[in-house]
A and B are shown apart, each in its own frame.
Chain A
Amino acid sequence: MKLRVAGGRSLRSRVAGTVALAACAWLLPYRLDTYMIHVANVVILFAILAVGLGLVMGIAGQINLAQIAFAGVAAYATAILTTRAGFGFWTAALLAILIASAMGLLVGMPALRMQSHYLGIVTLGLALAFTNWVTNAHVAGGAEGISGIPAPELPFVDLRNDYFFYYVELIVFAVTLAFGLFVVHTPLGRKMRAMRDDSLAAGAVGVEVPQLRMTAFLLSSVYGGVAGVFYAGLIRYVAPETFSIANMFLLLAMVIIGGRQSLVGCVVGAVALSLLREVLVDYPTYAQVAYGSIVVLTVVFVPTGLAGLPKRGRALLRRIGWLRSERGVVPRLGAFRPYAEEPPRNRGNILRLADVTMRFRGLTALQDVSLEVAAGEIRGIVGPNGSGKTTLFNVVSGLYRPTSGRVLLGERDMTGLRPHVLARHGVARTFQNLRLFPLLSVRENVLVALDQTSVLGAWRYAVWQPGVWRHNRALRAQADELLDRFGLTAFADSAPGELPYGTQRRVEIARAMARRPRILLLDEPAAGLNGDEVRELRDITRSIRSSGVTVVIIEHNMGLVMSLCERVTVFASGRIIADGTPAEVARSPQVVEAYLGDSAMSEDVPTEASR
Chain B
Amino acid sequence: MQVFLQTFIGGVSLGAIYALVAMGFSLVFRTMGLVNFSHGNVVMIGAYIASTFYLSAKLPFALAMAVAIVVTGLIGVFIERVLRPLENKDFDLMLIGTIGFGIVLEAVAIIIWGATGTAVPNPVAVAPVQVFGLRVRTYDLVVLAIATAATLLLVFFLQRTKRGAAMQAVAMDHEAATAVGIHVGRSNAIAFMLGAALAALAGGLVGPLLYVNPSMGGTLGIKGFAGAILGGFGSIPGAIVGGIAIGVLDAFAAGHFQGYSELVTFVVFTVIIMIRPTGIFGERTVNRA
Contacts and interface: CB of A to CB of B under 8 A. Distances in A.
B273 A114 contact: yes
B226 interface: yes
B95 A293 contact: no
Interface string A291-311: 111111011100100000000
Nearest to B37: A120
B256 to A, nearest CB: 14
B236 interface: no
A109 B82 CA distance: 34
Nearest to A248: B99
Given A117-B95, A288-B107, A129 B267 contact: yes
A605 interface: no
Contact of B111 (A118, A253, A285): A285
Interface in B205-243: 218-219, 222, 225-226, 229, 233
Contact of B35 (A114, A120, A245, A249): A120
A526 B76 CA distance: 47
B90 A303 contact: yes
B258 to A, nearest CB: 8
B132 interface: no
A356 to B, nearest CB: 23
Given A120-B35, A245-B218, A285-B111, A256 B96 contact: yes
Interface in A111-159: 113-114, 116-118, 120-122, 124-126, 128-129, 132-133, 135-136
Contacts of B106: 288
B62 interface: no
A595 interface: no
B90 A295 contact: no
A433 to B, nearest CB: 10
Interface in B1-23: none
B203 to A, nearest CB: 19
Contact of B263 (A133, A249, A285, A295): A133
B101 interface: yes
A560 to B, nearest CB: 28
A129 B267 CA distance: 7
Interface residues of A, number: 41
Interface string B67-96: 000000000000000110110001111111
A303 B93 contact: yes
Contact of A110 (B82, B274, B289): B274
Interface in A265-302: 285-286, 288-289, 291-296, 298-300
A288 B102 CA distance: 10
Interface size class of B (residues with CB under 8 A): 35 or more
A300 B103 contact: no
Which of A124, A125, A132, A245 has the most CB atoms of chain B within a 10 A radius of its CB? Answer: A125
B172 interface: no
B103 A299 contact: no
Contact of A299 (B96, B107, B108, B229): B96
A118 B273 contact: yes
B97 A299 contact: yes
A136 B254 CA distance: 13
Nearest to A297: B100
Interface in A67-118: 109-110, 113-114, 116-118
A572 B94 CA distance: 41
Contacts of A200: 289
B1 to A, nearest CB: 29
A125 B226 contact: yes
B266 interface: yes
B226 to A, nearest CB: 7
Given A125-B222, A128-B222, A299 B93 contact: yes
Nearest to A303: B93
A300 B99 contact: no
A121 B222 contact: yes
Nearest to A122: B270
B277 A118 contact: yes
B260 A120 contact: no
A63 interface: yes
A253 B103 contact: yes
A295 B270 contact: no
Contact of A113 (B82, B92, B274): B274
Given A126-B266, A132-B260, A293 B100 contact: yes
A153 B65 CA distance: 59
Nearest to B35: A117
Given A256-B100, A303-B93, 12 more contacts: A116-B92, A117-B29, A117-B35, A132-B259, A132-B263, A249-B102, A249-B103, A252-B96, A285-B107, A292-B104, A295-B100, A299-B83
Interface of B: 29, 35, 37, 82-83, 85-86, 90-97, 99-108, 110-111, 218-219, 222, 225-226, 229, 233, 258-263, 266-267, 269-270, 273-274, 277, 289
17 contacts: A61-B92, A113-B277, A114-B277, A116-B91, A120-B35, A121-B35, A126-B270, A128-B222, A128-B266, A132-B259, A132-B260, A136-B259, A288-B103, A289-B108, A289-B111, A296-B82, A300-B97
